[in-house]
Chain A
Amino acid sequence: GAGVSQSPSNKVTEKGKDVELRCDPISGHTALYWYRQRLGQGLEFLIYFQGNSAPDKSGLPSDRFSAERTGESVSTLTIQRTQQEDSAVYLCASSPGTGNEKLFFGSGTQLSVL
């Protein structure tokens, strides 16, 4: 597609349920990022994928969070046993993967945990 696509755009779930968020990066972009943005705050790095290299998971806040990427395409971010503090906008971005470069963001998934 023309840009980074994320789905769903909104997700409301009950505390303790698992959720799965999806990201379709720009075709040909080898780098993919997940960020979390709490209301009124900056972006918090979660995880980074680059080609076939091992992902950089250093930003994942707990073992309830995991992410996968299929080759150089779709990525899913899974949050298990959701907590109210997980409520935030989850943003995905991609880039060509050549370094020194800008990120292209999707519109995000607004997650609300009740």
Chain B
Amino acid sequence: SQKIEQNSEALNIQEGKTATLTCNYTNYSPAYLQWYRQDPGRGPVFLLLIRENEKEKRKERLKVTFDTTLKQSLFHITASQPADSATYLCALDPSGSARQLTFGSGTQLTVLP
């Protein structure tokens, strides 16, 4: 069956360090993958999209990699700050149309001051 797994439910790191979150998937061949941030009581907010033919995408302190052979995406936050504390969700769309975007259960990141 199709499955999306995010590496851990919770991740604590020290301010200034790099946070690395993992998204693994099975039985999908996604056209692209997205990462979202969700704060308590709010809806997810889009961060980055990476296509199947892209290896890496960057935006400010954020970096996403996409390895279709390993069926894995890594999400990095460099020089992390307490304000980065949130739940981060990965989402897959096999078709490329966002018709049925499938989400992982998320990783709760806490950046300690």
**A residues engaging B (CB < 8 A)?**
4, 31, 33, 35, 40-43, 45, 48, 50, 56, 58-59, 91, 93, 95, 99-108
Contacts and interface: CB of A to CB of B under 8 A. Distances in A.
Interface residues of B, number: 26
Contacts of B99: 48, 50, 56
Instruction: Determine the main DSSP class of B at the interface with A.
Output: loop
Interface of B: 4, 9, 31-32, 34, 41-46, 49, 51, 89, 91, 96-106
B85 to A, nearest CB: 16
B60 to A, nearest CB: 16
Contact of A102 (B34, B42, B51, B96): B34
A101 B51 CA distance: 11
B100 A43 contact: no
Most buried by A among B31, B43, B101, B106: B43
The 10 tightest CB contacts between A and B, nearest first, are A105-B43, A102-B46, A42-B105, A43-B103, A42-B103, A99-B97, A105-B44, A91-B43, A107-B43, A106-B43
